[in-house]
Chain A
Amino acid sequence: MPAREDAAGFSEYVAARQTALLRTAYLLTGHRQDAEDLVQMTLVKVVPHWSKLHGDPDAYVRTVMVRESVSRWRRRRWREIVGATAPEPVTDVPSSETRLDLQRALAALAPKQRAVVVLRFLEDLSVAETAQVLGVAEGTVKTQTRDALARLRQLLPDLRLGDEEPCGTLVP
């Protein structure tokens, strides 16, 4: 059982990083409530391993969150098919039209493509770091980045991307 100081360190981490985690989770799920659930479940799952996370726990937490997000998406899709219920609507629509367009475009991506976009362009992770979080090869990350950006460009024609967009690097 983790020691008491681990609990204190964990609480400090939650207090310091929950905003960033929620931002990432929100982009992964597209839903505020789902984002909160995702972050909570991620942190609960991290607890047993906390004592072994020396230094920066972000990498591990991010990995758990992304994989949990993909798993939830799979379960939700299964429920939608088996339960014959409608997909969960995007209810908490962002205030601006721009946000709404982007949210819809992200929702149209496959979960791993969405994760790649979020990790690379929100979290500013490299290809190698993204591959490690997703547990895939770097080539896969590059491919998914290219496909995701192509899809986004299709859905958001005004989206400006740089010359290296297949690898996910944007023109500032």
Chain B
Amino acid sequence: MSTDTDLRARLRDLADAAPHAGLAGDDLWRTGVRRQRLRRAVTVAGTAVAVAVVVGLTSVLRFPTALPPTEGPAELGIPRVVLPPDPWSEPTATPGPLTAVSVALRSEPVGLTETRDPLQLFGISAVDGVARFLDVPGLQININSDTVAISPDGTRVAMFRWVGEEGAAIRGWDVLDTTTGELTTLRVADQPEIVAGVFGYQIAFTGDGRYLLTSFSLDGSDKDRAKSFVAWDVATGERYVAEGPGRRWAPGVASGPNGVVWTRGRDVLTIDPVTGDRSEISVPQQLVDASFSPDGETLAYIGDAGDRPSSRAPWQFHVREADGVIRTVDVGIEPGQILGWQDATHVVVSQNGPRQARVVDVVSGDWERLVLQQEAGALMFPSRYATDLFARDTVGPAEQPDSGDPRPWMHQEVQWIGIGLLLGGVLQIWLVIRRRRARA
């Protein structure tokens, strides 16, 4: 054992056993330079790969994005094809003026991997033609399209506000201002629940867009005969009873440039809620639908050719001129609905269901074909059109922006990249282990 117990001295003594290798500075310099170049190249390559992956994913992956705001004049007419929005697109309360509304399935993420696809109301913009889901909190969609209405100018959308599950009762009617996003619920103060009933479903705006037409019982009864035909002033919430209770059937909602228009049997009735002026026109046919021309002179209507409402005879299109002369016009299809007027002498008539339509010259009786399509997913819910916009030329479908699941891991591209990274990591670990074993 050494007598030298000084750590410092013993360390120096041990260090004397260090190798005396003749390290060549030039060689080390070159090695260092090569290593630096290699590391720089690897860094550049890695950065390039990372950038490529990010750019690639950005261009491939589609996430829900807020659709562009609708800016500019609302100049578009009725779309010949109603395409729904991408299921993952974000809803909006301010889609701007609309040309049509319908429903489609909208996808929502649930948890990490689940998805739910509720029916959601969407509208076609009169500005850019893009379809946007409407953001109406708590809205439940009934497959019956009569529970939704769009104002003739496309700036308001009305819909039933159901109590709980649809079918039993409603709280009232929601009216969404599509330009401001303001949502108003029209309701009866002393009736927290309004019994709608099967025959009280249909709602519609008046031709001036001022009133929403509804049928319900003012005293809360669920009897059909207790229902009244009520016009709601959507700006003030005031209601006007156009037709009181006592009739078994709800009226047929008709249209005209002003006031409330409806049908009863063979009669077309009108009332001006402001002045109280009433009018009544009788025709020989049982009425299915009726509409006054923009100038109020001509009445176009669809009538049952038989003597009784239950007759199975084909429905026919008729024109009643201002002088009372009625003409039946063969429009080449069985008419089911009057959609709107292009001008005072041209009316758009369509079949029920598939939208084979006709633009009919009510003076000459000539007509032109018009096909109004919608994507298969919305076939159960025929589109509702902003009727004033039939005055413009119809337009083709606009390109709908793509969207996608907001969860990156649900994208197949990301899943493949994840699998690739996992395999790469495993391979890297295996290579490291193999290299270290080889060194050992």
Contact = CB atoms under 8 A, between A and B. Distances in A.
Q: State yes or no: do A and B come from one complex.
A: yes
A4 to B, nearest CB: 10
Interface string A9-51: 0111111001100111111000011011001100111111010
A19 B16 CA distance: 10
B425 to A, nearest CB: 16
Given A94-B17, A117-B11, A14 B36 contact: no
A114 to B, nearest CB: 11
B364 interface: no
B281 interface: no
Given A47-B28, A47-B35, A23 B5 contact: no
B322 interface: no
A54 interface: no
Given A98-B1, A121-B8, A170-B7, A40 B23 contact: yes
Contacts of B11: 27, 102, 117-118, 121-122
B116 interface: no
Interface residues of B, number: 36
A45 B32 contact: yes
Contacts of A2: 33
A23 B2 contact: no
Contact of A103 (B14, B22, B436): B14
Given A13-B25, A18-B21, A22-B19, A158 B1 contact: yes
B5 A159 contact: yes
Contacts of A19: 18, 20
Contact of A158 (B5, B16, B19, B25): B5
Interface of B: 1-2, 4-8, 10-26, 28-29, 31-33, 35-36, 433, 436-437, 439-440
Given A26-B17, A43-B28, A44-B35, 11 more contacts: A2-B33, A18-B21, A22-B20, A32-B17, A44-B32, A83-B436, A85-B437, A101-B1, A117-B7, A121-B8, A170-B6
